[in-house]
Amino acid sequence: MPARSARGWQSRPSMTEPAPGRLVTPAPLASSSGPPDAARPNAGQCVRLPATQPRRPPLPSPNAVICRDRRSPRLLDRVRIALRTRHYSVRTEKAYVAWIRRFILFNGKRHPDTLAEPEIAAFLSSLADPGQMSASSQNQALAAIRFLYGQVLGRQLAWIGDLVHAKRPERLPVVLTRSECRALLDKLTGSYRIVGGLLYGGGLRLLEALHLRIKDVDLERQEILVRDGKGRKDRRTVLPASLIPPVRDHLSTIRTQHLKDLSRGPSHGAVELPDALRRKYPSAPREWSWQWIFPAMRSYFHAATGETRRHHLHESAVQRAVAIAARAAGIPKPTTPHTLRHSFATHLLEDGYDIRTIQELLGHKDVSTTMIYTHVLNRGGRGVRSPLDR
């Protein structure tokens, strides 16, 4: 109906419904300040939000409108939420999501809720071809499918428990001699030398050593507190006395670097904190006690908090340094950072320490895992003297 104004009768604009199937871009909201809509980039359009976690993909927020990519199905977001609710590790999340995505592609991008026993069995059977993948990968794929149907889709597959798990080969760990360990450590320099010393001198895993913070090392008690180790368990292990002087010098160097980062502004000098500690202690990311013992050379910008942070040293850098040092030392055995942990346990057994003490230092849940190192007590093939030596 026409509306009357001071200038006479005027017609109101038509408010017609859009045609079915037509996409309509909502107009941007009016604002009292800022540039006009025509001057704004992507005005009235959906904009992909930046990732808020450098190590994990962001989960959809209920208060934000996110343009979804057709290649990123909503099901994977549900999988990530279920995994993070149960506090699964980052690597487990990435592995499970990758296997579920592979399962969906194997079945022609059909939703898993529409698949039945034949499709699931066909996918698992395709992984059982000899020479295609290891037994650990097959068991991991099976665990991912069981998690998808049991915890995400709410479908209990009773028959899947009857499937035979791939048998993992029983392999003995590669162990270096004492002279080989010393030669390897002599070829390492800088921070890599200290990391290698912690792996061999304290029996740490590689990521356990790289995740150490200033507050986790007690130089007076010669003790290392391993936080959130494998299985999300804490434990204490020994700090070698020979490492105390280089560790003290290293801490002095990175403290100078941290003070330099703090001088650049209030948003610099921060690190990532576990879980929700940042909300509970807002100033903790910039405190000295929470800094990494082995910080990365470069910093990065964290978009969610606006902070310029430093991550810890990447594990691939240590792996590469150990491989180069092993070749330089002339060690013919396949040597990785984990080989130093194997050597730590083996040499303690040779020195007469009991198996329970070594189990606690290594952080093994079951003593049977530690028993694999007892092979060193049977010198020369289970302690048998060869008839050729008589």
Catalytic residue from among 96, 192, 200, 373? 373
Is 312 catalytic? The answer is no
Is 320 considered catalytic here?
A: no
Judge whether 347 counts as a catalytic residue: no
Which one from 278, 286, 341, 347 is the annotated catalytic residue?
341
Please give the average per-residue pLDDT across 335-358, as a whole number.
Answer: 92
**Does the pTM of the predicted model rise above 0.85?**
no
Mean pLDDT highest for which of 28-37, 206-215, 362-371?
Answer: 206-215
- The one catalytic residue in 56, 250, 268, 338 is 338
**113-128 pLDDT per residue, tens:** 888 888 888 888 888 7
E-strand ranges in the chain read 3-5, 8-10, 217-218, 223-226, 235-238, 268-270, 295-302, 307-312
Q: Which residue has the higher pLDDT, 4 or 156?
A: 156
Provide the 10 A C-beta neighbour count for residue 211. 19
pLDDT at 25 over 90: no
Given a cut of 50, is residue 321 above it in pLDDT? yes
Among the listed residues 205, 278, 312, 342, the single catalytic one is 205
Q: Tell me whether residue 211 is one of the annotated catalytic residues.
A: no
Cβ-count burial 95-121 (b if 16+ within 10 Å, e if not): bbbebbbebbeeeeeeebeebeeebbe
Q: Which of 347, 383, 365, 366 is CA-nearest to residue 173? A: 347
Residue scoring higher pLDDT (390 or 34): 390
**Which amino acid would we find at residue 97?**
V
The confidence score (pLDDT) of residue 251 equals 96
For residue range 69-95, what is the model confidence (pLDDT) as tens digits?
444 458 999 999 999 888 888 889 999
- Relative orientation angle of helices 315-328 and 178-187, to the nearest 10 degrees: 110
Q: Which of 99, 197, 200 is nearest to 143 (CA)?
A: 99
pLDDT in tens, 150-168: 899 988 877 766 665 666 6
Examine the pLDDT at 279 and tell me if it is beyond 60: yes
- Determine whether 379 is an active site residue: no
Does residue 341 carry a catalytic annotation? yes
Task: Give, rounded to a whole angstrom, the gap between the first and last alpha carbons of the chain.
Answer: 116
The pLDDT value given to residue 235:
93
Q: How far apart are CA 363 and CA 341, in angstroms?
A: 12
Residue 229 pLDDT: 83
What per-residue confidence (pLDDT) applies to 74?
82
The active-site residue out of 230, 250, 268, 311 is 230
Helix, strand or coil, per DSSP, at residue 126: helix
Q: What are phi and psi of 231, to 5 degrees?
A: 80, 15
What pLDDT score was predicted for residue 365?
87
Contacts of range 24-31, beta carbons closer than 8 Å, 24 or more positions apart:
none
**Amino acid making up residue 342:** H
Which position has the token pair 């990521």?
207
Place of tokens 């003297």: 385
The Cα-based distances of 336 to 135, 173, 254 in angstroms read 21, 11, 26
Q: Cα separation of 350 and 326, whole Å? A: 23
Q: For residue 248, what are its two tokens?
A: 């003290």
Higher-pLDDT residue of 48 and 262 is: 262
Q: CA-CA distances (angstroms) from residue 331 to 155, 176, 286, 340, 350?
A: 52, 9, 42, 13, 21
Cα angle 315, 317, 318; round to 5: 70
Dihedral pair phi/psi, residue 236, rounded to 5°? -115, 145
